[in-house]
Structure 1
Amino acid sequence: MSLFDKRLSEIHSALRSKELSVAELVQASIASIKEHDGEIKSVLHVDEEGALSQAKALDDRLAGSGEEMGLLYGLPVGLKDNIVTRGLRTTCASKFLSNYDPIYDATVSKKLKDADALIVAKLNMDEFAMGGSNENSGFYPTKNPWNTEYVPGGSSGGSAAAMASRHFFFTLGSDTGGSIRQPAAFCGVVGLKPTYGRVSRFGLVAFASSLDQIGPITKNVEDSAYVLQAIAGHDEYDSTSAKVDVPDYLSALTGDVKGLRIGVPKELIGEGIDSEVRDAVLAALKQLESMGATWSEVSMPHTEYAVPAYYLLSSSEASSNLARFDGVRYGVRADNAENLIEMYKESRSQGFGPEVKRRIMLGTYALSSGYYDAYYKKAQQVRTLIIQDFNDVFAHYDVILHPTTPTTAFKIGQNVDDPVKMYLEDICTVPVNLAGLPAISVPCGFAQNGMPIGMQIVGKAFDESTVLRVAHAYEQTAGFYQRKPEWVRG
């Protein structure tokens, strides 16, 4: 068994017993990146020198004082490149920020360091988190480790591909409309989007502030619970952070789902869902039923409006958030401008890619005089109806379960010229963000072409414990999480 196939708890046991050193873990992570990421291209920036230096300090600390180990002690981690890291370049995979070296840490970066994890690298993504395939990176697209002709999903495609490639013990991504769960499904790993406000967004470069949420991508559900335990909690630096107690997530992993009530939205299991995906999810439901859970078909009638509402709202917020990127305070500045207005125009024209420009223009239009009520306000009203749909289902059920994506991963270039088709790939994930709920994607099978299939479990607000309990019970019985691409070492 490879080091990177071991659970986090097993790695900690090996560190305590001196069977392993932190330096060995970091060296294995860097070796994996150097050996295989030339083709996968999930990594943007590596801090090899800093990570090895920190590893030595942690090894010395463990050998010397016997000081208590942090929850994530010695574990090499990769972060999506829109999570700010002090002294380690943060570009959002955009040419606009290609020279940006932050002077502070995001709250999650600090929490990881406080838990004794080692941030080894920053990971590729769709530029400013805008995209669902990682083809919109300003530097290069990431490929799916299961088949390099296919996309890894997005916008956290680098985080999911790096996890499937076993470069790290876990990675972090951000999820605005499915950007953790969709690539996790495409890459055959576990992706968790916590409740909005459960994890601080301070230091996450904003795409859509009312939707963005940071979460872990791991190889199994137990590891996901470990990471969430370390990064969750109220943060005074984030005005949207919730003052809600953080439970012991590991204690929720009982393996017991007897009496659990599952709602399955007919809108997300029928027309438009690939037959192989549907069959895999129905088989998973049958498995949970054999373990003592019950399920029924339910209706969420406003689901069909979720994608247009999401893209109007997220693009409107992006238009506002990205106004700060003007070439004045930070980022790349155009050097051929004749005056201030020309500098703004040229800096943004040269710095932003086509998808970012598309969304800025859509959002600016939706917020403009004469169109605000017709588009932005109407989308907010639809958002309220979608939230009510979830409330109606959760009045009778413990969790909602359905496919993470309507299809398995598509080929690179297949949807790149059809943005509407690309946006419709998000139909299963965006309702969760609009409602601010927790959801997890776990592997539930493989298509005939060998590509992974993901199943999504959605919970009530701040009830990550139940989501993790159901996901863990299923994966331990089904075992799909143990599979990995054939070329991955071990």
Structure 2
Amino acid sequence: MTDLTSLTLAEARSELASGAITSVELTGAYVAAIEAANASINAYVAVTSEQALEMAKASDARRASGQTGALEGIPLGIKDLYATEGVHTQACSHILDGFQPRYESTVTANLWADGAVMLGKLNMDEFAMGSSNESSYYGPVINPWRAEGSTADLVPGGSSGGSAAAVAANLCVAATATDTGGSIRQPAAFTGTVGIKPTYGRCSRWGIVAFASSLDQAGPITRDVRDAAIMLKSMASVDDKDTTSVDLPVPDYEASLGQSVKGLKIGIPREYRVEGMPAEIEALWQQGIAWLKDAGAEIVDIELPHTKYALPAYYIVAPAEASSNLARYDGVRYGLREQGRDITDMYEKTRAAGFGTEVKRRIMIGTYVLSAGYYDAYYLRAQKVRTLIKRDFETAFHDGIDAILTPATPSSAFGIADQEMAADPVKMYLNDIFTVTVNMAGLPGLSVPAGRCAKGLPLGLQLIGRPFEEETLFRTAHVIEQAAGRFSPSKWW
């Protein structure tokens, strides 16, 4: 029999439906894989083996009685940002030490209602702040990929590094993730997986630990485009508990796969040809253009003039919202509490001990740009720039562009504890240069594996779509996937 953990979600669904395997068998195979690999990869910060097998048993019983959900019996990994009732939920931060919520996030509730099984909670950058998964209180995640001829550990990208690594290393069928400035798409590109950040409002944010509320969005990381379409269908919903969620029907995304892209207008923004971009990224982009052209799409050069301001504007808006959202972690009601002489001293000691370096940096930046005398000069100006970025996209779509094709990242995965990155946080922030515009404009963006770098590491292309037209992204990404093939790392763990 094929190794059960190598099945895609669609394949596992088919095997379960035919009775060839049970959810208990499938879940057991993943539990064993996690036990064998997690010490090397550090993708999971909490493994819920007993709960997973109980959920799988219940799923098999439902199937036997003729009741099946869209994800019936499928074992998933859940990013540690999602509240899971009675289970470790700490956003990989020491300040939420021991926190187990008494409620379930709307997205995970949707998944369990569709019959999915929870394998555990996945590692991530602390409070989703990072592009390498090195800021986690539980230590870095190791990318399952290695450069050819090397044994050096690489980052899986961030903040959803645990989600991407677990999917790439076959430690879950698929995973939930979140994206504030590229935290789904960048790790997907670094690990040869597929990641989609849907339109802002497509998935409920209720029960997901907030980083920057106007930018955060839930989405899946999966092994292929079809699996991403299946996952998003189950994750998406309107929700009375999240007023930013949108009351629009959730389409059958999977049905869009295989549809022709003939006649679609694909925009190529010249502003994404950034200074110093490696030749292999440009070559990958040109290859993607050629594939879509061959499939009948029309390639159109477009302008997004305010793109160059997106990264600095993002690093004002996101820390400002983080500063506000993270003010609630004070050691009083839950999580870590350090002893102090008085309540102010207790607050200070708790927050100093509880937050990591990157989180502290962003809180301080955010507090600064919101302070009296600087609010207008920084925060208000950044919001005006955000409006201009959104308008650039609206103009392109108004001119008939159906989707936009860009690189997903400026490079392949880099080394753990990379000295250049550690010495200059701005270099790390530049990893999000191709992805932050999508969050600033609230648009859907998808990363699909499209090739490999000279070192044999995966590279991704990004597709950006019109609001709530994720179907176009799935359909177009499927064409790229068919041309590029799928990528899997050689097992070393």
What TM-score range do you get, normalising by the shorter chain? over 0.9
| Structure 1 position 252 matched with structure 2 position 235 | no
Q: Distance in 1 between matches of 2:312 and 2:180?
A: 14
Checking the alignment, whether the CA contact within 8 Å between 1:272 and 1:406 is kept in structure 2 is: no
Q: Distance in 2 between matches of 1:162 and 1:9?
A: 17
For structure 2, the 5+ residue unaligned runs are 147-151
- Which secondary structure does the structure 1 equivalent of 2:451 belong to? strand
| Structure 1 position 51 matched with structure 2 position 52 | yes
The one-letter code of the counterpart of 2:48 is D
RMSD: 1.2
- Report the CA distance between 1:271 and its aligned residue: 2.6
Q: Distance in 1 between matches of 2:199 and 2:333?
A: 33
Match of 1:381 in 2: 384
Match of 2:289 in 1: 285
Match of 2:358 in 1: 355
Checking the alignment, whether the CA contact within 8 Å between 1:273 and 1:406 is kept in structure 2 is: yes
Deviations 1:19-56 (A, max 9, x none): 10111111111111111121111110011111111111
Q: Distance in 1 between matches of 2:112 and 2:218?
A: 16
Q: Distance in 1 between matches of 2:315 and 2:275?
A: 22
- Which secondary structure does the structure 2 equivalent of 1:119 belong to? strand
Q: Distance in 2 between matches of 1:488 and 1:218?
A: 21
- Which secondary structure does the structure 2 equivalent of 1:142 belong to? coil
- Which secondary structure does the structure 1 equivalent of 2:432 belong to? coil
1:14/1:245 Cα in 2 relative to 1: closer, same or farther (>3 Å)? same
Match of 2:28 in 1: 27
Match of 1:120 in 2: 119
- Which secondary structure does the structure 2 equivalent of 1:100 belong to? coil
The one-letter code of the counterpart of 1:393 is A
- Which secondary structure does the structure 2 equivalent of 1:312 belong to? helix
> Which region of structure 1 is more displaced relative to structure 2, 207-216 or 421-430?
421-430
Deviations 1:84-111 (A, max 9, x none): 0001110111111121011100001100
Match of 1:66 in 2: 66
> Which region of structure 1 is more displaced relative to structure 2, 13-22 or 191-200?
13-22
Flag as ranges the 4+ runs of structure 1 deviating above 6 A. none
| Structure 1 position 449 matched with structure 2 position 448 | no
The one-letter code of the counterpart of 1:58 is S
Q: Identity rate of aligned residues, in percent? A: 50
Match of 1:110 in 2: 109
1:488/1:467 Cα in 2 relative to 1: closer, same or farther (>3 Å)? farther
Q: Distance in 1 between matches of 2:72 and 2:422?
A: 41
Q: Distance in 1 between matches of 2:81 and 2:352?
A: 20
| Structure 1 position 320 matched with structure 2 position 319 | no
Structural mapping, 1:69-80, within 5 Å: 69-80=68-79
Checking the alignment, whether the CA contact within 8 Å between 2:125 and 2:134 is kept in structure 1 is: yes
2:210 counterpart (206, 210, 213): 206
Match of 2:416 in 1: 412
Q: Distance in 2 between matches of 1:12 and 1:178?
A: 29
| Structure 1 position 342 matched with structure 2 position 342 | no
- Report the CA distance between 1:416 and its aligned residue: 1.9
Match of 1:365 in 2: 368
Q: Distance in 2 between matches of 1:274 and 1:454?
A: 14
- Report the CA distance between 1:488 and its aligned residue: 7.3
Q: Distance in 1 between matches of 2:115 and 2:289?
A: 38
Match of 2:16 in 1: 15
The one-letter code of the counterpart of 1:404 is A
Question: So what's the TM-score if we normalise by structure 2?
Answer: 0.96
The one-letter code of the counterpart of 2:77 is G
- Report the CA distance between 1:274 and its aligned residue: 1.6
1:455/1:399 Cα in 2 relative to 1: closer, same or farther (>3 Å)? same
Checking the alignment, whether the CA contact within 8 Å between 2:9 and 2:174 is kept in structure 1 is: no
Deviations 1:220-258 (A, max 9, x none): 010111011111121001011111121121111124110
The one-letter code of the counterpart of 2:455 is N
| Structure 1 position 472 matched with structure 2 position 478 | yes
Q: Distance in 2 between matches of 1:450 and 1:36?
A: 22
Question: So what's the TM-score if we normalise by structure 1?
Answer: 0.97
Checking the alignment, whether the CA contact within 8 Å between 1:432 and 1:458 is kept in structure 2 is: yes
Q: Distance in 1 between matches of 2:270 and 2:73?
A: 45
- Which secondary structure does the structure 2 equivalent of 1:442 belong to? strand
Q: Distance in 2 between matches of 1:235 and 1:272?
A: 44
Deviations 1:357-393 (A, max 9, x none): 0000000000000000000000001001100111111
Match of 1:435 in 2: 441
Checking the alignment, whether the CA contact within 8 Å between 2:449 and 2:484 is kept in structure 1 is: no
Checking the alignment, whether the CA contact within 8 Å between 2:202 and 2:236 is kept in structure 1 is: yes
